[in-house]
């Protein structure tokens, strides 16, 4: 399960929309989209914030002029917001995924579940190794 703050930041990236511009300098559409998707995926996977901050601050996108691209100021503003959000996540204490209390130990044989019987078709089928030997013979 993803930390709610990480998920919220990842959703911000997923939902980001920029003004598409032409005939002036803009960031390449596909590079920006790929980068934001990559950061969102890594956020959800629990990548270290320091690494994501470094990658975001070091990101560079190809500038296009004669074809459609994203408004550079809008993309830069989102990246600044992303870095601020990541720095906020970095300052939060780690949330442990461990349960608050350990499970109670089994105290008697009655606590141990009974074995489950396999259906007859499974019981009678040959094992994987014996089937292998039957099909391919024994190797010497």
For residue 124 the two structure tokens come to 């009678």
For 30, phi then psi, to 5°, come to -65, -35
Number of domains in the chain: 1
Q: Evaluate whether residue 17 is within a structural domain.
A: yes
Q: Evaluate whether residue 52 is within a structural domain.
A: yes
Q: Evaluate whether residue 13 is within a structural domain.
A: yes
- The DSSP bridge partners found for residue 69 are 21, 28
**Do residues 19 and 70 make contact, with C-beta atoms less than 8 angstroms apart?**
yes
**Do residues 9 and 45 make contact, with C-beta atoms less than 8 angstroms apart?**
no
For residue 89 the two structure tokens come to 């996540």
Q: Evaluate whether residue 115 is within a structural domain.
A: no
Share of the chain above pLDDT 70, in %: 65
Q: Evaluate whether residue 110 is within a structural domain.
A: no
**pLDDT of 101 over the 80 cut:** no
| Residue 63 belongs to domain spanning | 4-91
Q: Evaluate whether residue 126 is within a structural domain.
A: no
Q: What's the whole-model pTM score? A: 0.65
Question: What is the model's pLDDT at position 91?
Answer: 84
As a whole number of angstroms, the distance between CA 75 and CA 37 comes to: 14
For residue 113 the two structure tokens come to 């579940």
Q: Evaluate whether residue 54 is within a structural domain.
A: yes
Residue showing tokens 């934001």:
36
Question: What is the model's pLDDT at position 140?
Answer: 46
As a whole number of angstroms, the distance between CA 22 and CA 85 comes to: 30
Q: Evaluate whether residue 99 is within a structural domain.
A: no
Question: What is the model's pLDDT at position 92?
Answer: 76
Q: What are the DSSP E strand ranges found in 25-138?
A: 26-28, 63-64, 69-70
**pLDDT of 124 over the 60 cut:** no
């Amino acid at each position: 399960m993803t930390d709610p703050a990480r998920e919220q930041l990842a959703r911000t990236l997923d939902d980001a929309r920029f003004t598409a511009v032409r005939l002036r300098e803009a960031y390449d559409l596909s590079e920006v989209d790929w980068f934001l998707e990559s950061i969102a995926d890594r956020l959800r996977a629990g990548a270290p914030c320091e690494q994501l901050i470094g990658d975001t601050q070091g990101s560079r996108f190809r500038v296009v002029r004669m074809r459609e691209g994203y408004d550079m100021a809008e993309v830069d503003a989102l990246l600044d917001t992303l870095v601020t959000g990541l720095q906020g996540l970095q300052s939060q204490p780690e949330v442990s995924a461990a349960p608050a209390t350990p499970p109670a130990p089994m105290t008697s044989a009655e606590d141990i579940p009974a074995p489950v019987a396999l259906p007859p078709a499974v019981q009678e089928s040959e094992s994987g190794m014996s089937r292998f030997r039957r099909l391919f013979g024994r190797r010497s």
